[in-house]
Structure 1
Amino acid sequence: MAKEPEDKNNSDDNDNGNVIDMFTRKPLDEVNQHQIIRIAPELDGMEMLYSNDANPGKLFSMKILCWALMKDGTIDALIPWLNKVVPARELNDPLNGHWEGYFDKVHDHAFFEVPEHRVAELENAVNYYPPIEDTDEAIIVQEIPDTIGTHAILTEDQFKTIVLVHVTSWRLYSDGRVMAMVADDKKVENTPVLPGDECLFAAQDHEDFHYFFHYVIANKIKHGDPEALAAFTHLVEG
């Protein structure tokens, strides 16, 4: 059974030594206990529910990228949010969003615990593919395709001009980082570009990277939708 994610606001620093690595059974420090060790893509269209202070009483939804197993046994959904990938339950931004739960569109059902089949999938996978021990250089553990239409926004002139690049895949590294992989058009030799292609590079490592946008918003921006452009301008200027 997966652990429930802890409420960081109520955690006690003195309890960090009580968190045990699910494999070595040794105490984990606070830095390492939430390190991601395995991911599973969300292929059934499940979403995260969130709210924000600008729209009290209203819920919004966002497609889940994947589910992640942490080193301490915690499992949560991962969401590309602003300029990073975050566990859904850690979303606690008064302006941009608070996590409120998960939503299964197929069954029209809101819920708060990680689905049991996702727990079983991740725990079985990590038993079959044991976590890689610490190495001097981080290596690729997994690479999954992006199935939710994520785009990375690049700009080299303070948003006077922007480039929206489709995220091809996501790589999990042995140090727990989850990186968005986008194609360098100058290096593309085969199409369509698939996960693992040599033309891919990590968006977050690019000096011009600023934000992630999801499929609907990214395409509205591409098509010059006034509301989407206004929201984007507010984000940049804010």
Structure 2
Amino acid sequence: MGVSQSPRSAQVIDLDTVRLRQQAQKSLVRLAPELDGLEMVYQLAASPDSYFGMPILAWGLRADGHVVGLVPWMETLTSCQEVDSQENGYFVGYRDPETEEIFESPPDHKYYELTAAADYFEYEASGDVTLIQQIPDTLGTHALCMNHPNAPWHMKPVYGWRLYSDGSIDALLADEEKATMTPILLGDKCLYSARSCHPSVYYFQRHIANRILEEDPATLETLAMMVVPGD
């Protein structure tokens, strides 16, 4: 007689749980400022024969052990590999301006620096979102802040960046009326989290920010097409 076999029980895959797990693995756990002038190289679909360079602000160690370059891009501090827009630009590689070498992976010395620092500090996970680290902004990044769709925008210099235990990053801006010393440094009480006060924030390199402040017509036209106020 044949032996009947019970059908194999089906496994139910919770896609939301899988996505959350994958997202957690990409969360940043440590930052290291870029102080040697390395750049991100990107291209625009409108200029397929041209390459553009953008200074890297910092390097980030992810929970999965990978290291990524980070640049202020659009609405956040973004991994270079996530710059992938035909309209605004897509990542090509990293570049050393001194040697003009273009390479795909972050330099080894940044990996060793980040992993050593992460092992040394080794923050314990907790249920509350806590501040892990803060670094200064060394690129002259500016934040365009909008509080309401029809309200005037404000351009403010970014003084630093904060990394939180949930992997999120936020910029530090200053309330100049509360500043008691110059220059403004990390730890000053006049600094505040950008997201805590401004529903919409866009980040720009220093030379672009200056064109906006000078009301350069071409720059303002591009800005109007790129920054669309929410409803």
With normalisation by structure 2, the TM-score equals 0.85
**Counterpart pick for 1:70 among 62, 67, 70:** 62
Q: What letter is aligned with 1:107? A: T
Equivalent-residue separation in structure 2 for 1:76 and 1:44 (angstroms):
16
Equivalent-residue separation in structure 2 for 1:69 and 1:237 (angstroms):
32
In the other structure, the counterpart of 1:138 is 129
CA contact (8 A) 1:152 1:209 kept: no
Where does structure 1 differ by over 4 angstroms across 4 or more consecutive aligned residues?
none
In the other structure, the counterpart of 1:188 is 179
In the other structure, the counterpart of 1:103 is 95
Q: Alignment partner of 1:29: what SS?
A: helix
**Percent sequence identity over matched residues?**
37
Listed as ranges, the gaps of 5+ residues in structure 1 are 1-12, 18-27
Q: Alignment partner of 1:216: what SS?
A: helix
Equivalent-residue separation in structure 2 for 1:44 and 1:52 (angstroms):
25
Q: Alignment partner of 2:159: what SS?
A: strand
**Counterpart pick for 2:191 among 189, 200, 209:** 200
In the other structure, the counterpart of 2:10 is none
Counterpart check, 1:47 vs 2:2: no
Max Rg structure: 2
Q: What letter is aligned with 2:39? A: E
Q: What letter is aligned with 1:228? A: T
Q: Alignment partner of 2:211: what SS?
A: helix
Please give the root-mean-square deviation of Cα atoms over the aligned residues, in Å.
2.2
Counterpart check, 1:120 vs 2:112: yes
In the other structure, the counterpart of 1:10 is none
Deviations 1:29-71 (Å, cap 9, x if unpaired)? Answer: 2121011000000011111011122222221111111000001
With normalisation by structure 1, the TM-score equals 0.83
Q: Alignment partner of 2:49: what SS?
A: coil
Structure 1 pair 104/159, CA: closer, same or farther in 2 (3 Å)?
A: farther
Equivalent-residue separation in structure 2 for 1:80 and 1:219 (angstroms):
16
Equivalent-residue separation in structure 2 for 1:106 and 1:227 (angstroms):
32
Structure 1 pair 165/81, CA: closer, same or farther in 2 (3 Å)?
A: same
Equivalent-residue separation in structure 1 for 2:177 and 2:170 (angstroms):
21
In the other structure, the counterpart of 2:5 is none
CA contact (8 A) 2:194 2:201 kept: no
Equivalent-residue separation in structure 2 for 1:160 and 1:35 (angstroms):
34
Q: Alignment partner of 2:195: what SS?
A: helix
Equivalent-residue separation in structure 2 for 1:208 and 1:141 (angstroms):
23
**Counterpart pick for 2:168 among 169, 177, 184:** 177
In the other structure, the counterpart of 1:89 is 81
CA contact (8 A) 1:69 1:76 kept: yes
Equivalent-residue separation in structure 2 for 1:54 and 1:204 (angstroms):
32
